Amino acid sequence: MKPVYEIAVVHGDGIGPEVCAAAVQVVKAALGPGNPLHFSEYPAGAEHFLKTGQSFPEPTFQACRAADAILHGAGGLPGVVHPDGTEAGLDFTLRLRFELDLYANVRPIRLFEGVPSPLSGVKAGDIDYIILRENSEGLYAARGSGALLRGEVAVDTLVQTRSGIVRIVRKAFELARQSGGAPRDGVRRVTCCDKANVLRSYAFFRSVFDEVAKDYPDIATEHALVDAMAMHLVLKPGHFNVIVSENMFGDILSDLAAATVGGMGMAPSA
């Protein structure tokens, strides 16, 4: 008897329900009659917040915790926010990341045949890399714990731990080992993206990256400052294989990268 894997489907908001429904259809068609997946739907998001005052019901959280995987379309609607101004639709993904320790956000960036890129002269196969975003620390770890003083001063703290950096960097090197290398030269490489020239937290990230890199002599390494990386992803995307970064930087760069391969709808994450 084949195993059955439980998939919690949380449609979310905006295009989320449309994307989720299509994704389920594609997966069922791909797996055929022997499909080992069982899909169950649960509510969460800004739309649910408007109806009930809850953006992430506890039964949905428990179902997601128990599931083998979670399929989520998109979260958030313009103007649907908590009293502190933060989006209600983001509660779903952020709580799952922190409470289930989903530390590795894997963003494959690949230009497929038949999908036009806004970059001149770029064709299918020329862009094929992964942005690996640390998902549980960085600046976003401050959500809900920052300070707003007398309506004049706001403070959020960027958090980096040695253990958190080590595990995301090791994941990056393992992904590079499993890959075919960068499209331009076939080299398996990991690029550390940071702002080490300005902030101690990113200099620390880079130093730990360099320590871990010694365990992977078969993988090429390099550093890139995040502002330069925004340029490189447009001018030489074929150079990259795996890019590893702090939470916020990975969030921003993955949207830029998605635009180069046809838009957000062509850039899934895991």
In the prediction, which pLDDT does 168 show? 98
Contact of 245 with 255, CB cutoff 8 Å: no
In the prediction, which pLDDT does 82 show? 85
DSSP 182-209: -TTT---EEEEEE-TTT-HHHHHHHHHH
In the prediction, which pLDDT does 141 show? 79
Catalytic status, residue 101: no
Q: Calculate what percentage of the chain has a pLDDT beyond 90.
A: 74
Cβ neighbour number for residue 154 with a 10 Å cutoff: 9
In the prediction, which pLDDT does 122 show? 94
Best CA proximity match to 206, nearest among 253, 139, 160? 160
0.85 exceeded by pTM? yes
SS3 for 229? Answer: helix
In the prediction, which pLDDT does 207 show? 98
Of 8-22, 90-104, 188-202, which one has max mean pLDDT?
188-202
Given this structure, which CATH class describes domain 103-270? Answer: alpha beta
Bridge-partner residues for 38, per DSSP? Answer: 6
Catalytic status, residue 140: yes
In the prediction, which pLDDT does 2 show? 65
Contact of 230 with 256, CB cutoff 8 Å: yes
In the prediction, which pLDDT does 257 show? 97
Question: Which element (helix H / strand E) includes 98?
Answer: helix 91-99
Distance CA 24, CA 188 (A): 33
Active-site hit among 68, 101, 210, 227: 227
Q: Is residue 3 over pLDDT 80?
A: no
Measured distance between the N- and C-terminal CA atoms of the chain, rounded to whole angstroms: 28
Average pLDDT of the chain is 93
Q: Is residue 185 over pLDDT 80?
A: yes
Q: How confident is the model at residue 1 (pLDDT cuts 50, 70, 90)?
A: low
Catalytic status, residue 255: yes
227: its two tokens: 């502002």
Catalytic status, residue 227: yes
Active-site hit among 103, 129, 140, 216: 140
Cα-based torsion angle of the residue sequence 130, 193, 263, 239 in order, rounded to the nearest 10 degrees? -60
In the prediction, which pLDDT does 97 show? 87
Mean pLDDT of 60-76: 93
In the prediction, which pLDDT does 161 show? 95
Best CA proximity match to 270, nearest among 175, 138, 206, 178? 175
Mean pLDDT of 204-216: 98
Q: Is residue 59 over pLDDT 90?
A: yes
The per-residue pLDDT for range 77-120, each reduced to its tens digit, is 898 888 888 888 888 888 898 889 899 999 999 999 999 999 99
Q: How confident is the model at residue 225 (pLDDT cuts 50, 70, 90)?
A: very high
Catalytic status, residue 68: no
In the prediction, which pLDDT does 218 show? 97
Q: Is residue 145 over pLDDT 80?
A: no
Mean pLDDT of 180-202: 97
Q: Is residue 160 over pLDDT 70?
A: yes
